[in-house]
Amino acid sequence: MCTDIDIVELVRQAQHGDRQAMDRLAEAARGRLSAYIYRLTLNHDLAQDLVQETLLKMVENVRNIERPDRFWPWLFRTALGQVQHHYRDEARTQQIGFSSISRQRLSDYLAHDRDDGLDRLMRKELAEAVVDAMAQLKLTYRSVLTLRCYEQLSFAEIADMMDCKELRARVLFFRARHSLRRRLTKRGFGKGLLLTALGLFGWLTAPADTAAAGTTVTAASCQVGAAATIAGLAGTPSGIATLVTTTGLTFMLSLSLEQIACAILLVAAVLVGLLIAFVFE
């Protein structure tokens, strides 16, 4: 597997017409592209077609990459564009459902004991729930969850891919996570199972030749920071209600100047969050 340093060098060599370097670059890119696009479409045949189209775009435009060290964000942006183009220009709806998932992969997952505290039946129900929930997300939400949780891109890299500021990328991830959690809650799964659900989706959608055990999602990868949390909450009616209620309670319980000052700062943060959400929408 090529390291980031190797990729940078391969990109530079390919830009100078080295065909062998281009072939190696395509080989390195194919695996990550396959996983990324499949998690967006949950359609093996379509994913492979779009991988080929993305690789062709890569070959045609590799000379235009100004920052070889940002190759992966550039490539994922190209891939997302191909997926969007497919659904938009072909006027197709996204036919995504649990039936698209490998039954053998699910059987393998259920066949072994796990340390997630779930029995076999609950794991199966969670698998169905998370696939259905992910299918209902906006394409951009599914994309940012995939890039952060499975491709392990930093928020800076995701922002580079989306051509936006890092805070915007964090807010988008917060909203994608919130939307997924809300859908799982409607299916009877508590907030504490979000990481387990994301890990399970990663397992079910991992390429056949990839170690699925490497799809563990950590709590750290799902953290977005205070500013993004406030902006994310401020963008939804329920979030605004939560922030306003919290602020009101803070005032009611304030018994010192220091506490009052903290409450005022919280109100100011809410207002800033509303402004940020308005600008980014």
Residues 114 and 207 occupy one common structural domain: yes
Contact 64, 74 (CB under 8 A): no
Q: Are residues 123 and 207 in the same domain?
A: yes
173: domain CATH number is: 1.10.10.10
Tokens representing 79 are 């891939």
Measured in whole angstroms, the distance separating CA 150 from the mean position of its chain's CA atoms is 8
Provide CB contacts within 8 A for 59, sequence distance 6+: 22, 26
Rounded-to-integer distance, Cα 214 and Cα 152, Å = 11
The total number of structural domains that make up the chain: 3
The one-letter amino acid at 97:
G
Q: Examine the domain organization and report whether 45 and 145 are in the same domain.
A: no
Note down the domain range covering 257: 227-280
To which residue do tokens 């949780």 refer?
A: 149
* Beta carbons within 10 angstroms of residue 184's beta carbon: 23
The per-residue pLDDT string of the chain (281 residues; one tens digit each, 9 = 90 and over) reads 576 779 999 999 999 999 999 999 999 999 999 999 999 998 888 999 999 999 999 999 999 999 999 999 999 999 999 999 988 866 555 555 555 566 677 777 777 777 767 788 888 899 889 989 998 999 999 999 999 999 999 999 999 999 999 999 999 999 999 999 999 999 999 888 999 999 989 988 887 665 544 467 888 989 988 888 888 777 555 555 554 554 444 444 444 555 556 656 776 776 666 666 555 55
Q: Is 244 in the same domain as 204?
A: no
Locate 122 and state its tokens.
Answer: 């609950």
Residue 178's contacts (CB-CB under 8 Å, 6 or more residues apart) are 232, 236
27 and 136 within one domain: no
Side-chain half-sphere exposure of 21, counting CA atoms within 13 A: 14
CATH code at position 84 = 1.10.1740.10
Tell whether 70 and 139 lie within a shared domain. no
Whether 82 and 53 have beta carbons less than 8 Å apart is answered as yes
Cβ atoms of residues 72 and 153 within 8 Å: yes
Joined tokens for residue 40 = 């967006």
Question: Is residue 71 domain-shared with residue 100, that is, in the same domain?
Answer: no
Structure tokens at 115: 């340390």
pTM of the model: 0.78
Which of 47, 74, 95 is the last residue before a domain boundary? 95
Neighbour-count burial for 73-106, b at 16+ CB within 10 Å, e otherwise:
bbbbbbbbebbeebeeeeeeebebebebbeeebb
Assess contact for 199 and 215: CB atoms under 8 A: yes
Tell which of 95, 128, 154 closes a domain: 95
- In whole angstroms, what is the distance from residue 92 CA to residue 95 CA? 8
Pair 50, 141 in one domain: no
Neighbours of 16 (CB within 10 A): 8
Residues 191 and 100 placed together within one structural domain of the fold: yes
Domain end marker among 95, 119, 151:
95
Domain identity same for 244 and 145: no
My answer on whether 141 and 35 are in the same domain is: no
Query: What Cα–Cα distance (Å) separates residue 234 from each residue in 67, 120, 171?
Result: 35, 38, 10
Same-domain pairing of 69 and 91: yes
